[in-house]
Structure 1
C-alpha cells in the first residue's frame, strides 16, 4: 500500500513518525513523508521519501514561532497561535497535501493537525491519527488534563462531570481551530474540524508505553496504545570520545531542552554559571535554546545535535523539558528525570514522571538557581534510579513500531472487508 505520513513542528513531532515510516517500509509499504523543508535532511538520511509541503520556512522561523508559543500559558491559546501562524499558507498547504495523497491508500497525520482528516475524506481514503501524548484520550473515568477532578464526590457525579468536560473540551478546541482555518477551508470546499478529542479518526495510535501509561480502565477501541516509535541520529565515535574525556569515570548531569527557545539565553547561562558549583561537571545539549557556554566554564561541556541514546548513557540524571520524545528517551536510558516544563503537554509528562517515581518537577522561572540542589536530591536518593530502571524493564518488553504497523494493517484490512461486503465483492476486488 502507499501510505502518506504528515506532520509539522519540531524534531519531537518529526522523529517518531520517521520511525513509523521506516517500520511501514520494512513491512513492504510505500511511504511518502510530507512535511516542511527544514526536516528534509533528517527524513532522507533515514531513507524515507520526502514530499515537501508549505510553509517554506527556515529553521530560524520555526524557532521564532516556538518562542511565541512558549509565551502563552493556555494550551488552547497555543493551538490557536499555531494555526494562526499557518493561516497565510493554508491554501498552499491544502494544495500540496492534495498532491501528496494522489493515488495513496491511507493518510496518517499527527493529532495536532486534524485538518488533514477533511482531505482524506474528500479523497475517500482511510485517515489515521498519531498522538504523542495520552492526555488527549477521552474517558468518562477522568476529565481532560487541567480540568478539575471531583475527588470525593459520588461516582455518578464524577462520571457525568468527566463526560461534560470532554464535550466542553471538544467544543473549545474545535472552535479555536475553525476560527483560524474557516476561510481557507470554505474556499477549498472542505468541512471544518469536529470532535478533536472524541472522533479525530477511526484509529488513533497513542504512541506511548502501554505498560507504563495506559489507563487501567476501559477506553474506546479506536484508541490503541502502541508503545513509543523512536528515531535517532547515528552515533558518533568522535563525540563519544569527547564525552568520555570530559566525564572520566563519573556519570554527570545532562541538560537537554530540545526545541525550547529562550529570548535571552546569555542571561540564563550567566544565572546558571553563578549558581552551579564549579567543582561539579555538567553537560549541556543546546538544542534550539541559543545557549552558549563560555570557554572559561571548563566544568560544563556544550554539545549540539546527537543521538539521545548515545548521550544519555553518560548521565547521572537528565534535566529536560518534558517533551514526549525526550521523556521517552530518558525512560529508555533508565535514568532519573528532573522535568522543567515549558509548554503544552510538558507539565502533564512531568506529572507522569512523578507518578512513576522516576524523578521530580522543577519550575521554569528559577531553574538555573535551583538546579544544583535538585540534582543533589535526585542523585542522593536511590529510589529515583530504581524506579527508572524498573520503567526501562517494562519498555524493553514493548515494540512500538511493530505494534503500530500491526494496528495500521489490521485497521486497513478491516476497512477493506467492510467495503467489500458493502459492494458485494469478493476478497480479491
Structure 2
C-alpha cells in the first residue's frame, strides 16, 4: 500500500508525521511526505528514510496542517479518487458545543454572542470568507465543483484527533464522530551532545527555556528575563535557541545554550520546562514528567497552557510577554514538590502507541475500501 502524508505549518505539524511514517513502514506500507520546503524538515524526514516529495498513484492521503493547505490536499485526493483522512494535532478546530472556536486574526467574534453553536457557525463563515474563493478557483481548474463549507469539507465526517486523551480529552458531540488515536510520537534515540551532558552533570538539574518555532518579537529581552527569573529561583538555566535565536546574556557558567536536541532525553533531566505551549512540546514535557511553565504566544497555545494548569503539572503564564517578576512567580509554583509529584504521576498515563494505532487503523481502512470496490 502507498500512503501520502501531507502537511503545511511549523515543526509541530511535521514532527508527528515522522512517528506515523515509521509505524506505517513497519506494517509494510510505502510512504511519501509532502511538506514545506524547509531544510530542517527535509533532514528530519530523511533521517527515517523518507523523501519529502509529492506523489501520485497512492492508495490513501493523510491531510494535516493549516486548513487551506489541507483543503487543497483533500481536493487533489478527491480528484484522483484516493481515500483520504483529515487529522488535527489539537482539538480547537473541531466544532464542539463545549467550547468556543478560535478567532482568526482580525476577525473577532461579536462580544455579545455567547452561544457556542452560533460562534461555530460564525467560524465557518469566517473560514469561507478567508479561503473559499481561492479554494474553489483551484478546484475549478481541475474540474471539481465548489465547496459549500470549507471547514466542514476539511474536517469531514470522521476526523482523527492525534492527541493524548489525558492531556487533551475529547468530549463527545453528536455532530462529529472523532477518532482519537493518541499523540504520534517516535522514540528519539539520539544521544545528547557531549558538552550538554557535561553541563547537566556539573550541577543540579537546570530549568530549560525555549520557544520552539515561535519568532518572539523581543528575543534578547526574553532570554534576559528568563535567565534572571531562573537565577532568582537559585537554579541553573538551559536556553534553547529556537527560531527566536535566544542566546546567553553573559559568560557565567550557570547557563548553557543548545540548538536542535533530543527533547525526550533532555526533559527527563531538567527541573522544569519553560516553553510556548506547542502541542508537541507540551506532550513531550508531560510524558517526561517535567513540571512546566507555559508562556503561550498564539493560536492553540493558551489552550495547552490551561491544560497544564488544570492537570496540576505546571503553571500557565498570563500573556505572551513575561517579566522577571511574573515568570519568577510561575516558576515558584511549578517548582514545588507537589507539582513535581503530580507531573511524575501524570507522565505515567501518557500513551506512547498513538502512531501505531493510527497506522493500523489507516491500513485497515484502506483494505476495507479496496474489498468493497
Query: Shorter-chain TM-score category?
Result: 0.7 to 0.9
Say if 2:359 is the partner of 1:357: no
Say if 2:47 is the partner of 1:42: no
Cα distance in 2 for residues equivalent to 1:266 and 1:129:
39
Partner secondary structure for residue 196 of structure 1: helix
Match of 1:280 in 2: 235
Say if 2:79 is the partner of 1:137: no
Partner secondary structure for residue 360 of structure 1: strand
Counterpart selection for 2:209 from 252, 255, 263: 255
Offset at residue 169 of structure 1 (A): 1.7
User: Is the contact made by 2:291 and 2:313 (CA closer than 8 Å) also made in structure 1?
Assistant: yes
Match of 1:120 in 2: 77
Taking a change above 3 Å as real, the CA distance of residues 294 and 145 of structure 1, as seen in their structure-2 partners, is closer
Taking a change above 3 Å as real, the CA distance of residues 179 and 361 of structure 1, as seen in their structure-2 partners, is farther
RMSD value over aligned CA atoms?
2.8
Partner secondary structure for residue 231 of structure 2: coil
Match of 2:358 in 1: 404
User: Is the contact made by 2:9 and 2:65 (CA closer than 8 Å) also made in structure 1?
Assistant: no
Offset at residue 256 of structure 1 (A): 1.9
Offset at residue 165 of structure 1 (A): 2.7
Cα distance in 1 for residues equivalent to 2:359 and 2:75:
23
Deviations 1:127-153 (A, max 9, x none): 1112100122323444435799xxxxx
Describe how 1:149-168 pairs up with structure 2 within 5 A. Answer: 161-168=115-122
User: Is the contact made by 1:338 and 1:359 (CA closer than 8 Å) also made in structure 2?
Assistant: yes
Partner secondary structure for residue 229 of structure 1: coil
Counterpart selection for 1:298 from 240, 244, 253: 253
Cα distance in 2 for residues equivalent to 1:198 and 1:180:
15
Match of 2:328 in 1: 372
Match of 2:156 in 1: 201
Taking a change above 3 Å as real, the CA distance of residues 266 and 122 of structure 1, as seen in their structure-2 partners, is same
Offset at residue 35 of structure 1 (A): 1.7
Partner secondary structure for residue 155 of structure 2: coil
Taking a change above 3 Å as real, the CA distance of residues 213 and 262 of structure 1, as seen in their structure-2 partners, is closer
Offset at residue 249 of structure 1 (A): 4.9
Match of 1:342 in 2: 297
Offset at residue 222 of structure 1 (A): 3.8
Instruction: Normalising by structure 2, report the TM-score.
Output: 0.86
Offset at residue 4 of structure 1 (A): 0.5
Cα distance in 2 for residues equivalent to 1:295 and 1:120:
53
Partner secondary structure for residue 309 of structure 2: helix
Q: Which runs of 5+ in 1 are unaligned?
A: 52-96, 149-157, 421-429
Instruction: Normalising by structure 1, report the TM-score.
Output: 0.75
Partner secondary structure for residue 261 of structure 1: coil
Moved more, 359-368 or 298-307: 359-368
Partner secondary structure for residue 256 of structure 2: strand
Cα distance in 2 for residues equivalent to 1:271 and 1:221:
44
Offset at residue 247 of structure 1 (A): 5.1
Offset at residue 184 of structure 1 (A): 4.0
Moved more, 298-307 or 41-50: 41-50
Deviations 1:183-208 (A, max 9, x none): 44444444555341576234422111
Offset at residue 261 of structure 1 (A): 0.5
Offset at residue 22 of structure 1 (A): 1.1
After the TM superposition, which parts of structure 1 deviate over 6 Å for at least 4 consecutive aligned residues? none
Taking a change above 3 Å as real, the CA distance of residues 314 and 104 of structure 1, as seen in their structure-2 partners, is same
Match of 2:282 in 1: 327
Taking a change above 3 Å as real, the CA distance of residues 275 and 135 of structure 1, as seen in their structure-2 partners, is closer
Offset at residue 372 of structure 1 (A): 2.5
Counterpart selection for 1:268 from 212, 222, 229: 222
Offset at residue 299 of structure 1 (A): 1.8
Match of 2:31 in 1: 31
Cα distance in 2 for residues equivalent to 1:258 and 1:250:
24
Partner secondary structure for residue 271 of structure 2: strand
Offset at residue 365 of structure 1 (A): 1.8
Deviations 1:328-377 (A, max 9, x none): 10111011111001111111111111221211111222244422332122
Partner secondary structure for residue 301 of structure 1: strand
Offset at residue 224 of structure 1 (A): 0.6
Cα distance in 2 for residues equivalent to 1:104 and 1:338:
42
User: Is the contact made by 2:79 and 2:142 (CA closer than 8 Å) also made in structure 1?
Assistant: no
Aligned residue pairs, count: 358
Taking a change above 3 Å as real, the CA distance of residues 134 and 33 of structure 1, as seen in their structure-2 partners, is same
User: Is the contact made by 2:94 and 2:155 (CA closer than 8 Å) also made in structure 1?
Assistant: no
